[in-house]
Structure 1
Amino acid sequence: MTTKRRSVASRGGLRAASAKASTPPVTPDGRYIVVRGRLWRRSNPGLPEPRRLALVEELMEARRAVRDALKSEADGALAAARRRVDAAKVGLGERGPVWWTDGTADLNRHMARNTPYADWFAGLEAAEEPASGSEHRGRRARRPSGGA
């Protein structure tokens, strides 16, 4: 029996399009971007531009194939599409062996606060604090329970 998988939109609503969301912070060494506090390896900047563009196009086609396979619930097609996504990401340097040569460990998918980038990341978070000092960020304050 095949279970239908939920789309990104159904798991948490559509992602807000904002200036912050469109350009995630990049670590000082250029190896990672930070999304929701987690490090994600960037593409190899040493790739020749035509090769990079071809791999990005393949990645996008493979992601569309994953989407289509999820809609059709075809398990064989889904596995093949996911292998294509993985191959494109390995080619881009986002997965597989690291593209840098100084021997530094790969911290892909680690929380930034638990890595050598912690101080840098804490500085980013401090800069993003709201000017009003409000902790609620758009939420209503809870009213105290009980009669008054």
Structure 2
Amino acid sequence: MQLLMKKFRIKCDDIQVISDLNVRPSVESWKLFQDMIEPFRLHEGSKDTTQAEALRKEHPWKITDHELDTFEEKTIRQVRLNELLQESSRAAKLVVVSMPIARKGSVSDYLYMAWLDSLTKNLPPTLLIRGNHQSVLTYYS
């Protein structure tokens, strides 16, 4: 990675590989995330089936309980990654991170934006990069 950065004339002093990404985030970080998404939650699990369907039709953009359960692991990963980035990159001039991938229609806009917000919260300027799983860099030595 350092050789690639050097080849593209990007000055890089330090590259850190994150190893404990699958550890659950702290209670405080998780609570901040839950508080952030609360106004956008549907909470249809506490309603009967008819009410839940009506809520989903009336507010299709809100985050459902099923969606949170389905993407719980990915959500936890974004919150934990922010904790690790804050620990190791607080003094950085620029943080470069891969954007979380979400297929269109599989995750709501509000949950995806919550991932981005929690990923970049309290960080220095952050560049989010999204790829398409194809090599697109062309360079000549």
TM-score range, shorter chain: under 0.3
Q: Structure 2 length as normaliser, TM-score? A: 0.27
Larger Rg: 1
Q: Structure 1 length as normaliser, TM-score? A: 0.26
More helix by share: 2
